[in-house]
Amino acid sequence: MNRCLELASKGLESVSPNPMVGSVIVYQGEIIGEGYHIKYGKEHAEVNAIASVKDKSLLKDSTLYVNLEPCAHFGKTPPCSNLIIEHKIPKVVIGCGDSFSDVNGKGIIKMEKAGIKVSIGVLEKESRELNKRFFTFHEKKRPYIILKWAESKDGFIAPKNQTAPFWMTSKDSKKLVHQFRTEEDAILVGRITAEKDNPSLTVREMEGENPTRIVIDKDLKLSKELNLFNNEAKTIIFNTLQTKEIDSNYYIKDDFNNLIESILQELYKQNIQSLIIEGGAKTLQSFIDEKLWDEARIFTASTILVEGVKSPNIKGEIVFETDAGEDHLEIIKND
């Protein structure tokens, strides 16, 4: 199962909105086939694992391992549970069940009815953690929310009276942030951050697809000359004035009552499973206050500002710490 998880993680940047899945086939204690879901719309892990087995006659005496319950419905590809049954694989070991309504136990029932011995719950915690975005989306009906900011050593997120774009962390941290962006579906900033920092919110320092950019601009005050509107990626602008599409910019009118809930509902409708909140302090704190966050990634630079905009106030469980070049990175999970 550890090998399944290792294989599955290779699909992190390319399978959304599908989950990451890896599969291993074992015959008499030896791995004879393995595969993973490589890209959304392409073959699933079990299909690739079965296809990799050179001698298909061995399948009737083999065990198939997979970190997520095999699907039971026709989507972009046929059901994996049907293929397992077709090849008469006698035993299937599953990391965790699939809470997506079109699956949700149906694959297991189908295989058991065909006489296959099914075991479930092997490395279940690790299997759910790998697909935390997928499970959050289907179980909580919203994207998995990651807060991200950089702060000075003395606890400020930006200098006082900022008038120009400001970056306090190292080049190594910047590359890591761009890597984070390749792994998520969307990224959000508030109007003030868009105005003062003029961010592009793309992955230009790394290879990968740009996330959907989201900006909150209540009265449409932002200049159309800003990088956010450069058509390098889709941009959604939440405002109170209009719903309109101009090139790759999508304006969505909202009354700004329960704005955060409205944003998350819209992203759910658009099948966006993960969201990075990159600022500013007020926007970040609003998600924290509403308890609508799952993970925070906080860079602490060696810079000392003495005064400025205070960093968000957050509490949670520290699950990871490391030095990212000259900076310190801390990852906190919501309790």
Annotated catalytic residues are: 46
**Two tokens at 281?**
């302090």
What dihedral do alpha carbons 52, 57, 59, 60 form, nearest 10°?
170
Q: Give strand ranges (E) for the chain.
A: 22-27, 30-36, 63-68, 91-96, 117-120, 144-151, 156-159, 186-190, 212-216, 235-239, 244-246, 249-253, 274-277, 295-300, 308-310, 317-324, 327-333
Q: Which long-range contacts (CB under 8 A, 24 or more apart) does 42-45 make?
A: 42/77, 43/77, 44/70, 44/71, 44/77, 44/80, 45/4, 45/7, 45/8, 45/21, 45/80
d(CA 21, CA 12): 10
Q: Is 40 helix (H, G, I), strand (E, B) or coil?
A: coil
What whole-number distance in Å separates Cα of residue 11 and Cα of residue 293? 24
20 three-class SS: coil
Distance between CA 143 and CA 16 in Å, rounded?
Answer: 12
Peptide bond into 17 cis (omega under 30): yes
Distance from chain centroid for Cα 23 = 21
Q: Is the Cα torsion angle 58, 60, 62, 66 positive or negative in sign?
A: positive
